[in-house]
Amino acid sequence: MIRVNVYRDFNKNNGMVMVVEDSLETFKSKISTQFGVPKENIKLFSSDSCEIIDIRVIRDNESLYLSKKSDYECTDCDRFKNISVVHTEKNSCDCRTISEWITLNVGGKHFRTTRSTLVGKEPLSMLARMFAEENKSMMNPSSTDIEGAFLIDRSPQYFEPILNYLRHGDIILDNNVNPRGVLAEATFYGIDSMIPHLNKLIDDSKYSPNSQALTRMDVVRAIIMTPTNSELRFQGVNLAGADLSRLDLRYINFKYACLSRCNLGGTNLSYCCLERADLSHANLELAQLLGVKALCANMEGANLKGCNMEDPVGSRAIMEGVNLKGANLEGSNMAGVNLRVATLKNANLQNCDLRAAVLAGADLESCDLSGSDLQEANLRGANLKDAAFELMLTPLHMSQTIR
């Protein structure tokens, strides 16, 4: 009985002590089972790089290899390595077990790529630090599966666009791939140059009208077909980019609806429910917003110039917690409006009527309140850092009422 040491390569990695018996084909079958290599691909080599074709030449306790010595030998020293050679100084050698071709097992799916692909475009990413040749303190690669692929417990569906981006620099997503998922993976792997492009894709898909978004004609048809004594609901409906200007939309329920970049200029939205609706970058110039309920709505960057929110009957517009960051409300009548803990950072509130408005806890940082009327307004706890109060109709110290 002959016992030998079988290694995957000349670095003597993944070695096994095995018994040689019967025939060379039987021995190769055992190697195939133990190393997970197809039998037809197995070639055995001795320490002097000669291929073994007969078991009779195998000696007891001999070391056998599945690859030729010439594939692993460094020409500058007697050590062996896997294809790539790293030299630090002339006539000195720093050999490592590094292969130019790398197999990654991401979530059970294999991806075959080169070291230069993982390192070249994003040298500071997690993948680059794992497989960089010149970095002696690189992150250690993860465990490997039976085929030698590095295991990464992430989504293969979202990893594929990232790998293609590292290959050619373009972001190409199939219809069934959510860019938010790719963004999460790009953040995890540290592919920083990819993140702004993915954010833009997400914004474009959010704001651009598409085949699923309702149009002006759809809204008009729904209004005509709904009896006057019935509630009309567009709750959670996608109306992004629709032209709804100058329509009478009173009392309609738009809770959670997407009205981003809609044209609502001159529209009557009085007594509508806009709770948590997305009105970011929408045009509401000269719109009627009497008694509107817009709790926690997103109106970032919206145009509300010249809007009217004061109800002669006394019903107050509720805009508590609304996001009006960077919005334009110049010249709007907002008497009595409830803007408690609202975000109005960098908003334009010039010449607004804010009599008896509730702005307690609101973020008014860098907000322009020049020429506004804040008589009896509640500003308790509001953030007024860098806010402008030039030409105010009422002195600020007379405007604050503690309630």
CATH code where residue 38 lies: 3.10.20.10
Token pair in block for residue 273: 């429910």
Length of the chain, in residues: 403
Q: Using the 3D structure, point to which of 157, 183, 207 is the last residue of a domain.
A: 207
32/115 same-domain check: no
- Does residue 220 form part of some domain? no
Joined tokens for residue 195: 């993140």
Whether residue 257 lies inside any domain: the answer is no
Burial of 255 (0-12, 13-18, 19+ CB in 10 A): buried
Looking at residue 347, its pLDDT comes to 96
Question: Which residue type is seen at 170?
Answer: D
- Whether 394 and 379 have beta carbons less than 8 Å apart is answered as no
Report the candidate in 312, 226, 324, 345 with the shortest Cα–Cα distance to residue 274. Answer: 324
Domain-located, residue 185 = yes
Q: Quote the distance between the C-alpha of residue 186 and its chain's center.
A: 7
In a domain, residue 12? The reply is yes
Which of 155, 186, 207 is a domain's end point? 207
Separation of alpha carbons 204 and 182, rounded Å = 15
Please check whether residues 66 and 105 belong to one and the same domain.
no
pLDDT at 84: 36
Q: Which of 323, 313, 231 is nearest to 275 (CA)?
A: 323
CATH code, domain with 124: 3.30.710.10
**Per-residue pLDDT tens digits of the chain, which is 403 residues long:** 688 787 777 666 668 888 887 788 888 888 888 877 788 778 888 877 778 888 888 888 888 877 755 544 444 444 333 333 333 333 444 444 445 788 999 999 999 998 889 888 888 888 888 887 665 444 566 688 888 888 898 899 999 999 999 998 889 888 788 888 999 999 999 999 999 999 888 877 665 544 467 889 999 999 999 888 888 999 889 999 999 999 999 999 999 999 999 999 999 999 999 999 999 999 999 999 999 999 999 999 999 999 999 988 888 999 999 999 999 999 999 999 999 999 999 999 999 999 999 999 999 999 999 999 988 999 999 999 999 887 665 655 545 443 4
Buried b (16+ CB within 10 A) or exposed e, 4-32: bebbbbbbeeeeeebebeeebeebbebbe
Q: 168 and 119 in one domain? A: yes
The answer to whether 304 and 285 are in contact (CB under 8 A) is yes
Whether residues 106 and 159 fall in one domain:
yes
**Among 55, 70, 85, residue at a domain's last position:** 70
Query: Tokens 């322009």 correspond to what residue?
Result: 368
Query: For residue 380, which amino acid is it?
Result: R
Which strand (E) or helix (H) includes residue 150? strand 150-152
Residues 50 and 143 in one domain: no
Closest CA to 216 of 246, 256, 236: 246
**Do 111 and 203 lie in a common domain?**
yes
> From CA 403, how far away is CA 399, in angstroms rounded?
12
User: How many other C-beta atoms are found inside a 10 Å radius of the C-beta of residue 370?
Assistant: 17
Give residue 162's pLDDT: 93
pTM: 0.50
Residues 112 and 180 in one domain: yes
pLDDT confidence of residue 44: 82
Q: Is residue 201 part of a domain?
A: yes
Measured CA to CA, the distance from residue 278 to residue 266 in angstroms comes to 18
* Alpha-helical runs (H) found in 112-266: 115-120, 126-131, 156-168, 179-189, 195-207, 216-225
130/84 Cα distance (integer angstroms): 16
What distances in angstroms separate CA 86 from CA 82, 83, 233, one per listed residue?
Answer: 11, 10, 68
Give the residue numbers spanning the domain of 7: 2-70
Q: Are residues 106 and 51 in the same domain?
A: no
Q: Is residue 29 part of a domain?
A: yes
Number of domains present in the structure of the chain: 2
Q: Which of 259, 298, 232, 41 is nearest to 147 (CA)?
A: 41
Q: Are 13 and 64 members of one domain?
A: yes
Q: Which of 362, 347, 354 is nearest to 333 (CA)?
A: 354
In a domain, 34, yes or no: yes
Compute and round to an integer the Cα radius of gyration of the chain. 35
Looking at residue 392, its pLDDT comes to 65
Q: Does residue 121 sit in the same domain as residue 175?
A: yes
Q: Which of 228, 292, 236 is nearest to 264 (CA)?
A: 292
Residue 117 located in a structural domain: yes
> Do residues 32 and 105 share a domain?
no
| DSSP, residue by residue, 202-221 | HHHHHHS--TTS--HHHHHH
